[in-house]
Structure 1
Amino acid sequence: MLTRKAFLQQTLGVMGAGLVTNAWAADSVHQKPEKAQIILKNVRLETGFERDDLEVTRTKTDLFVLVIEEGKIKAIQPNRDVDGAIDVKGCLLLPATKDMHIHLDKTYYGGEWKARSKRQKSVKDMIALEEKILPGMLKTSTERAEKLIELLQSKGSDFARSHVNIEPASQLNSLKNLQKALEHQKEGFSAELVAFPQHGLSRSEGLMKEAAQMDIDFIGGLDPFSIDGSVEKPIDFTVQLALDYQKGIDIHLHESGESGLKTVQYLIKKVTENPVLKGKTFLSHCFILGKLEGKQLEEIAQQLAEAQIGIISTIPFGKVIMPIPTLHQHGVSVMTGTDSVVDHWNPFGTGSMIQKANLMAQLYGYSSELELSRCLGIATGNVLPLDESGQQQWPKAGDKASFNLVEASCSAEAVARNSAVKALYHEGKCVYKD
């Protein structure tokens, strides 16, 4: 059983322990904090699990004081009244969530409502539509990206990996406009950018080379066989561009037939040949994995793990159920994202990563206390308050002060009930408050 004292010993470190000794000595309870500090009281933290002879039956929590300074958690202290402290009234502290697959550069959000048309039935149809509508959307893309970022913040995310259209219709303007939006929001939001040849590499190679020199983080791709007519040539180009400019790789793969499998296998081969890309390469969607079974699935999952290729799954409803449990068993990194939010591809999308964790739990039948608590990891970049044995691992003194205050008693309840985010802090700054 993890006592309050043991919890504090785990989290403080030398600097924090000294701060507790000094700040909470006799007659210093009402000592005023330094100007640079933010102090929160009545903060609920998870401290361990209760178990019976079969399973985890309850998540234990307690109330604490959190001291924030220079964007980091400086100390975690026993809960007391402190002059100037912000009373969070027992809200649960959870890691800030991360939207790892979204298109911030093209959205209707913040404008008039518009559902998707039934005229477009394929990715190629959607590309033809984009060629017509993107020039007009560029006129408001910066403002709408900012509105979308504010939505993500209200749902608990202070970070996103955004794919950005790089193609002849919008040239490099989608990227430039989104960079303006991110500059405006930089005090409360961080992002990684993926240069995304939405209309095919064969039409965008020159633009992609330019984009690779424009402060982006990943080289993207799209269904190499169905869009560009080859598995090898587009992947070779993408890999070489990533190597030339020291970028990562994140490829949209919707193809679920033989070409999809060949794409996964070829990308594994190229990353294995270029180990510098291990841990920096991802497949988004990757629906082909939902079609594999038995030994074939196990082998591909193991190969992905060995190549350190991550999967970014949007966890869709429908016929394709992604084998997330199998991927986890083999040590494949799996994260999730919103993808589209009210745009010409999809009229849905709430912006909530906690909702994605909830959907994952429902799809795979994860309903126990331990299972639900583990599901939160897909929303937070695999940062969890407790490890599987119930040992506290987050937060600790020295961690970035990027977190949510949630109306829930524990992680399991937050996932099961899509609990409301009451406040989001990004590196020590409150950027959303309900």
Structure 2
Amino acid sequence: MTSSDQLLAREQYTLKNVRLETGFEYKNEEVIATQTALFCIEIAHGKIKAIKANNPKEKAIDMKGKLMLPAFKDMHIHLDKTLYGLPWKALSTKRRTVTDMIAYEQEIIPKLLKTSTSRAEQLIELVQGYGTTSARTHFNIDPSSGLKSFENLIKALENKKDAFQAELVAFPQHGLFYTDTIPLMQEIAKFDQVNFIGGLDPFSVDGHIEKTIDFTVQLALDHNKGIDIHLHEIGTTGMETIQYLVDKVLENPQLQGKTCISHAFALAYLHEKEMEDIAEKLAFAKVSIASAVPFKGKAMPIPALKKRGVKVLIGNDNVQDYWSTFGTGNMLQKANLIAELYGYVTEFQLSRTLQFATQDTVPLNDAGEQQWPRVADDAHVVFVDASCSAEAVSRMSKVTALVHNGNLYEKN
């Protein structure tokens, strides 16, 4: 958290005047509103200990009727290479391809590494301000960075551990074979802090779909890691990469539920039957898709993927860096964008769209029954200035406080 934010409580305490969603209001079978009520919430040792009827007179921390929601999670971000915290700089038209950007990174990374810990901390503070307490972050592993991006990011995460946590993806941004990155990937895979083995456009960067995927899969198997591959390629090579990776996951069931394809733009260009077939295969193999919800070009088929059981993860990806300046760090903004792109405009639809900020958890199930919070849940929550989750998504409501592992912070 920033120095201006206030730590209100740790360990064991009670909150009063906490607004929770309790059900839907219907008219002619249509959801027309979300019902809420005020409660007292006891938190102890990082867990929700009790949920009780509200007592305004109780000696407790007053949340003043703010709506409590599950804390937000960013499932695709690059905390290690942000320009956030440095002077504003727009993109250059001279760098259009991934290989252009690799050459640029080779030039600027040595200088950026000198301040990457402090800038990662500033980016963490930014996303915390929007209610995100957990992320999956990629960090560069390449000859220009060595292990330095990893080491500096670990320092930043250690400094922010009271209010933030992250899964780590070792990301060969400069290719596995395009630059001499294989030895570095083999070394970084040994670290317990690394959760996933990453990858980048096997055909267009490395020139080998099978060779690149085979190495990535074997490295993940050897070290009991997951896989998260960036795939920007469209057309035949994009789909061949998806098909080949899914086949490898089916051959190695221990990778099911631990494998993700980030971006996967090729899916946006499929005909309906093709989309149905690959979505069913992805769902069967438990391979997830991570998206930053790009709104230029063709829209990603997120509703079609979800309909067929594919786990869809959402993240900001770039936040003011040399790849893109448009990322805000705000997961409610991503949910809002999804609602606008796919026409989710009703009370019910907007309330469901919150799942893209929380990565699946919503207070009410589809039948309007309260399913969150529950006693013994981890105390990872945010408080927003909204009457219900539908309003929070539609208006991108302000976060006023958050709890991470039981630590309560008030936003100033």
TM-score (norm: length of structure 1)? 0.91
* Structure 1 residue 89 corresponds to structure 2 residue 67: no
What's 1:363 paired with? 341
Aligned to 1:118: 93
User: What's the secondary structure of 1:201's corresponding residue?
Assistant: coil
Give the Cα separation in 1 of the matches to 2:396 and 2:238: 34
Q: Does residue 227 of structure 2 align to residue 252 of structure 1?
A: no
Q: Which position in structure 1 is the counterpart of 2:273?
A: 295
How far residue 84 of structure 1 moved from its aligned partner, in angstroms, is: 3.5
* Among candidates 402, 407, 412, match of residue 429 of structure 1: 407
* Aligned counterpart in structure 2 of residue 269 of structure 1, from 237, 247, 253: 247
Check whether the contact 1:40–1:67 (CA below 8 A) recurs between aligned residues: yes
Cα offset for 1:374? 0.7
- Render the CA deviation track for 1:272-319: whole Å, top value 9, x for unaligned: 000000000000011011111211000000000000000111001111
* 1:79-228 to 2 correspondences below 5 Å: 79-202=54-177, 203-214=180-191, 215-228=193-206
Matches for 1:328-367 after TM superposition, within 5 Å:
328-367=306-345
Paired residues of 1:154 and 1:432 also in contact (CA < 8 A):
no
Q: State the structure with more CA Rg.
A: 1
> Amino acid of the residue matched to residue 414 of structure 1?
A
Contact 2:293 2:334 in 1 (8 A): yes
Tell me how far apart the structure 2 counterparts of residues 314 and 263 of structure 1 sit (CA, whole Å).
20
Does residue 420 (structure 1) correspond to residue 395 (structure 2)? The answer is no
Which residue number corresponds to residue 351 of structure 2? Answer: 373
Find the counterpart in structure 1 of residue 4 from structure 2. Answer: none
Q: What is the match of residue 24 of structure 1?
A: none
Q: Does 1:394 align with 2:369?
A: no
The superposition leaves residues 167-215 of structure 1 with CA deviations (integer Å, 9 ceiling, x where unpaired) of 0001110001000110111111110000000000112111001010122
How far is the alpha carbon of 1:37 from its aligned partner? Answer: 2.2
Aligned residues: 401
- The one-letter amino acid of 2:300's match is M
Displacement of 1:77: 0.7
Alignment deviations for residues 361-386 of structure 1 (CA, whole Å, 9 cap, x no partner):
00000001111011110111101101
Query: What does the per-residue CA deviation read over 1:101-154, in whole Å, with 9 as the maximum and x for residues that have no partner?
Result: 000000111121111111101111000000000000000000000000011100
Deviations 1:14-73 (A, max 9, x none): xxxxxxxxxxxxxxxxxxxx9952111110000011112241111110000111111111
Structure 2 gap ranges (5+): 1-8
In 1: Cα distance, 2:211 partner to 2:349 partner: 42
SS across alignment from 2:18:
strand
Q: Which amino acid in 2 is paired with 1:245?
A: H
* 1: CA distance, partners of 2:11 / 2:282: 45
Q: Residue 248 of structure 2 aligns to a residue in which SS?
A: helix
Counterpart in the other structure of 2:32: 57
Structure 1 position 350, deviation (Å): 1.3
- 2: CA distance, partners of 1:282 / 1:201: 18
Moved over 3 A (4+): none
Distance 2:344 2:36 in 1: 22
The residue that corresponds to 1:20 in the other structure is: none
Q: 1:313 aligns with which of 282, 291, 307?
A: 291
2:6 corresponding residue in structure 1: none
Contact preservation (8 Å) 2:11, 2:406: no
SS class of match (1:127): helix
- Determine the C-alpha separation between the residues in 2 that align with 1:392 and 1:36: 26
Greater Cα shift, 155-164 or 342-351: 342-351
> CA–CA distance in 2 between the matches of 1:350 and 1:427?
25
Q: AA paired with 1:311?
A: I
| Whole-Å separation in 1 of the counterparts to 2:402 and 2:86 | 25
Q: Choose from 52, 60, 77 the match for 2:52.
A: 77
2:11–2:46 Cα contact (<8 Å) kept = no
In structure 2, what residue type is equivalent to 1:417?
R
Distance in structure 2 (CA, Å) of the matches to 1:388 and 1:205: 47
CA contact (8 A) 1:313 1:335 kept: yes
* Aligned AA (2:59): G
Partner residue, 2:3 = none
Q: Which amino acid aligns with 2:181?
A: S
SS at 2:25 equivalent: strand
Amino acid at match of 1:275: P
Pick from 202, 208, 211: which aligns with 1:230?
208
Going from structure 1 to structure 2, the CA distance change for 1:432 and 1:207 (only over 3 Å counts) comes to farther
* TM-score, length basis structure 2: 0.96
